[in-house]
Structure 1
Amino acid sequence: MGRQLVPLTLDNLPDLPKKCRTCVFWELDPVSGDAAVKTGRPDLEKEAWISAVLLEWGSCGRIVYVDEAPVGFVLYAPPAYVPRSTAFPTSPVSPDAVQLMTARLLPAYQGQGLGRVMVQTVAKDLLRRGFKAIEAFADARWKEPACVLPAEYLLAVGFKTVRPHHHYPRLRLELRTTLSWKEDVERALDQLLGAVQKDPVLRPL
């Protein structure tokens, strides 16, 4: 079963799940986001946001493919490009960090370590680009897939709490600590082209 993590572009944007492709939770402030939904144009707003970030900053996501079929994705960008981040009680994101916005894997592909590989791939990309950390707003009460990632998942892949909160703590992953991951990342990425067995365990991401 061949696996690949490919940079997000306007060409492969349609490979995001439909619900995520039309979601502008992070990309717009709450008022603008509600307006986009009411006018029925959130997909165009999403495309415009990704286009602007790609032009001004560069790659802002990865799509996971298994046997050429999209099974997951991750989005990230500097906080200046993420208007919704200012609405959280634990904001702002630190000025030396990039925000991990959201990520998703299809249920059949959860529990295989792909979530960790996605985070490691983002970390490797940002290290190359000179950033020091990744931060994320987490949901400590997570119950079902949503735009805000579960705190339990982020803690499991190496994030630490930098600003506690009963519902939306802010977590941080120091990229310098991932330098020791380099060999693991290379091995993991190499294994994306190899054969692995599906894990029927459905763990949240």
Structure 2
Amino acid sequence: MAARITPLRLEAFEQLPKHARRCVYWEVDPGIVDRGDHLSDPEFEKEAWLSMVMLEWGSCGQLVVEHRGTAAVGEDPGDEPCLGYAFYAPPRSVPRAGRFPTGPVSADAVLLTTLGIEPGQGSAELSQSLITAVVGDLVRRGVRALEAFGRTSAVDDLTDRASVPADVRPVMETLGDCSVEQCVLDADLLMDAGFVVVSHHAYFPRLRLELEQGLGWKAGVEAALELLLQSAQLEQPVGAGTSNCL
């Protein structure tokens, strides 16, 4: 199976899996939880957030879709199944970031909030490819660092509200069908991708990936993206992309 990674466009919102469209853990002011308010339309809120960030800042998502080669006449390329996705934004655009005990996010960093892989799609490989795509986008835009809040395995031991430390209760409060397990990135996955812990915490450390380590780092990102492109080309059907010779 071939896959391709592309910047998320607002027109592709409906391509996202249901949970990705409805998850507003990071995007909606968590103060509405404190007030006991009900969120009537999570999908509208998520799409509105994406629209705002894209308008004010630019691309804030990467999408992995199953690559079916050249679309047939009348076939909509948007029908390609979504295999995974990632969202990232300036921390000022992410209300939930202010609730983490290891905040704030560094002023020179963009925050990676979400990375989701559909079941049965080889999560480790696609996760690394998505992070590479995010890094490649940010390097081209001159961003110095990518940060993320990680979730450690110790979170699994917080089985009831009484066992939750006071400093992480604002993190654990969720909206709709969101959950910390689904919506906060695994710290081990981030470290496997090269992130390092810059603010330690038993449950929710903050991690950082430096993007300005000279031309060597940039060359490495470009090489990784080139390998992804070559891999996609190799997986195309024989004869795809070539002209017929008489």
Give the TM-score normalised by structure 1.
0.88
1:85 aligns with 2:97: yes
- The correspondence for 2:113, drawn from 94, 97, 101, is 101
TM superposition shift of 1:16:
1.4
Distance in structure 1 (CA, Å) of the matches to 2:221 and 2:102: 28
> What is the CA RMSD across the aligned residues, in angstroms?
2.1
- SS of the counterpart of 1:113? helix
Partner of 2:57: 57
Partner of 1:172: 208
Aligned-partner residue type, residue 162 of structure 1: V
- Between 1:181-190 and 1:54-63, the stretch displaced more is 181-190
Structure 1 residues 1-205: aligned runs within 5 Å: 1-32=1-32, 38-67=38-67, 68-111=80-123, 113-141=125-153, 145-177=181-213, 178-179=217-218, 180-195=220-235
Distance in structure 1 (CA, Å) of the matches to 2:65 and 2:21: 16
Larger radius of gyration: 2
Structure 1 residues not aligned, in runs of 5+ = 197-205
Asked whether the equivalents of residues 76 and 99 of structure 1 are also in contact (C-alpha less than 8 Å), the reply is: yes
1:12-32 superposed Cα distances (whole Å, 9 cap, x missing partner): 111111122111110112123
1:96-116 superposed Cα distances (whole Å, 9 cap, x missing partner): 000000111112112462211
- Between 1:31-40 and 1:3-12, the stretch displaced more is 31-40
Structure 2 residues not aligned, in runs of 5+ = 68-79, 157-179, 237-246
TM superposition shift of 1:36:
10
TM superposition shift of 1:63:
0.9
Aligned-partner residue type, residue 128 of structure 2: R
Asked whether the equivalents of residues 24 and 33 of structure 1 are also in contact (C-alpha less than 8 Å), the reply is: no
Number of equivalences:
196
TM superposition shift of 1:2:
2.6
1:41-72 superposed Cα distances (whole Å, 9 cap, x missing partner): 11111111100111110000011001321111
